[in-house]
Amino acid sequence: MRGPHNIIRLIRTGATLERSGAMKVVLDAFDAPPLVRGVLRGLVWPFQWLGIKGDPEAPPLPRALTALGPAYIKFGQVLSTRPDVVGSDLATQLRILQDKLPPFDIATAKAEVEKELGQPVDEIFSEFSEPVAAASIAQVHRARLAETGAEVAVKILRPGVEKAFRKDIDAFYFAANTIEFLSPGSRRLRPRDVIEHFDNGVSSELDLRLESASASEFAANTANDPGYQVPAVVWEHSAKRVMTLGWAEGTPIGDNDALDAAGHDRHALGSRVLTLFLNHALRDGFFHADMHQGNMKVAANGDIIAYDFGIMGQIDEYTRRVYAEILYGFIQRDYKRVAQVHFEAGYVPADQDVDEFARALRAVGEPIFGMDADRISMGRLLSYLFEVTERFGMATRTELILLQRTMVVVEGVSRSLDPRVNIWDVAKPVVTTYIEKSLGPRAVLNDLARTARVLTRFGPRLPEMVEAVLMKQNETPMRPRDSFWLWIVLTGGTGVTLGAIAAIAAMVMF
């Protein structure tokens, strides 16, 4: 990483925000105190001549983020889903970052398709439109397959986007390292790990073969979800920088006026967006992690159509259970249990007080339950949550970053459809069903059966495992725990279920 280059890049970032007027917009949106305003603007004002001018016709913040490049646009897309944090006017301005950025020309797009797919565009497609949507990484064209006549969407990466992202992420790493060095207290937030997580996600997004695989897996998982559609991937016309999938015809989910004109129930849509996300995260452990308004449409029959699968989240079964228990505890207003789950999962250091943490969580939860959803200040709530994490020494969990970020985005989309949508009311039946299936007696039996299948796979190795245990016995006296494992091995071929139960008993008792 090149230090001087990154210093200049970060200075230019601040200078661009100041030159475009976006610095004041951001500080106003987050209600920054006078001291912070004075320090930040004082630092960047002398360098504002270094800032990128951008499009003077655009509003200040979209103008600055677009000028700075794709990594900054991603941040703006998240803010665009949170009118409750940045205000409805600013959120509306930022929505142009979702799919209405300046496109590259159609000749370049066709040349890229031909290069990637190895055939002239006219041989593959009987129709190929001008760009219909353009975002930070790619743009989309509407086309028709020459062979079948089917309408498709052709997604093409922007020329040079890989280099642009690399430059920005390089600067982000430098900033994270500098913050960790100058502020030891920030290390609990693990800024470098957060940037690394972002880096890995972007790397996946820049290979459309991986996105095609994600879309295919996601479609299989959600095939039976009512009111939900995922376009099919056209594999023979997809490659690293070009992806072809079925065309999604519908009303953009961010256009409330058009949804009303089409007769759609926006409250039902907002609730369904939340329900679908929770089902995918808890049931499948594989979820769409970029669910802003630019990546969803509403079909004429009311189905939600999802697309753009470059960023997908995946969480293991243990983490899903922890997440469900936390949500369920909040729903039941059992803050002591929520606190205990945090401690059991290691999210809060063991030297903290569980009762104090439970009281802090109550201060988070009670205002939500005692107030209409459209009166909740998410900005104030998020600020207090940050204070709680700092007070109790909670480190950033990189494995949960995408889940937490998507939760924020999805709730923002739902509330933009109808501010009265309450996440806890919608989540209750989904989480309760998952808890009943995953934490009850049936779940225990399923876990034991899975353990048994694992033990069965070791069948061919049982003789050598027994021999190894017996040889060890000749060297040292066998401990009670070892005797349990020997019994498991000896009964593994015919009594694997009993062996699995014994294994658990051995771990608990010894």
- Annotated catalytic residues are 290
Classify each residue of 299-326 as buried b or exposed e, where b means 16 or more C-beta atoms within 10 Å of its C-beta.
Answer: beeeebbbbbbbbbbbbeeebbbbbbbb
Task: Give the 3-state secondary structure of residue 37.
Answer: helix
- For residue 291, give the nearest of 140, 420, 98, 101 by alpha carbon: 98
| Cα radius of gyration (the chain) | 26
First CA to last CA distance, the chain = 50
* Cα dihedral 194, 199, 205, 211 sign: negative
How distant, in Å, are the alpha carbons of 248, 258, 266, 272 from that of 228?
12, 19, 15, 9
Task: Give the 3-state secondary structure of residue 422.
Answer: coil
DSSP assignment letter at 395: P
Q: Which residue in this structure is represented by tokens 């996440």?
A: 423
- For residue 380, give the nearest of 368, 362, 397 by alpha carbon: 368
d(CA 399, CA 353): 24
d(CA 313, CA 287): 5
Q: Which residue in this structure is represented by tokens 């299936």?
A: 437
Report the 10 Å Cβ neighbour count for 102. 10
Report the 10 Å Cβ neighbour count for 80. 28
DSSP string, 339-360: HHHHHHTTSS-TTS-HHHHHHH
Question: For residue 101, which amino acid is it?
Answer: L
What does the block give as tokens for 449? 């059966």
Question: Do 116 and 126 touch, CB atoms closer than 8 A?
Answer: no
- For residue 373, give the nearest of 328, 330, 335, 424 by alpha carbon: 424
Q: How buried is 287 (Cβ within 10 angstroms: 0-12 exposed, 13-18 middle, 19+ buried)?
A: buried
Residue count of the chain: 510
Question: Do 64 and 76 touch, CB atoms closer than 8 A?
Answer: no
